[in-house]
Amino acid sequence: YEVEGLENIPTQGPVLIIFYHGALPIDFYYLFAKIWLYRNRRVRVVADKFVFKIPGLASLLEALEIQPSTLAICKLMLEEGHILAIAPGGVREALFGDQNYHLIWKERKGFAKLAIDAKVPIIPMFTKKCREAVRAMTLGR
């Protein structure tokens, strides 16, 4: 795999990474590992609040220090100077997206307001062919 634009990740200070949530989001695992190795920074991640209600998964998320995606938590992470990664499409995009990479964000624009209010840069992330790693289920076709 290849990561382009790693030099755009600051070595300090808050930044918001926005990524497409593929069914198997291995692309952001690789990016986050590269950021750790070459920028010596940890990327903080948030997840939809409902996944914390799934038995067993909540414990794993807590162990990985993944937080519920509330505006207050996201704002705090940026105020503390962290790199924060958000996939606005979340689980819905992961399960029902297709190989055309249509974003399934609906009205999820809070990340943009968060970045504007916190005065932090947004770094978009895109991985070519990550959607093809796992085929999305289509019903009624």
Q: How far is CA 30 from CA 3, 37, 38, 62, in A?
A: 8, 10, 12, 21
Whole-angstrom distance, CA of residue 129 vs CA of residue 11: 28
Given 9, 15, 20, 21, which residue is catalytic? 21
How many Cα atoms are found within 13 Å in the side-chain-facing hemisphere of 60? 7
Does 102 qualify as catalytic in the annotation?
no
Are 131 and 98 in contact, with CB atoms under 8 Å apart?
Answer: yes
Question: Which tens digit of pLDDT belongs to each residue from 92-102?
Answer: 666 665 566 56
- String of b and e for 120-131 (b: at least 16 CB within 10 Å)? beebeeebeebb
Question: Structure pTM?
Answer: 0.80
With a cut of 70, which residues of the chain have pLDDT below it? 23, 90-108, 129-141
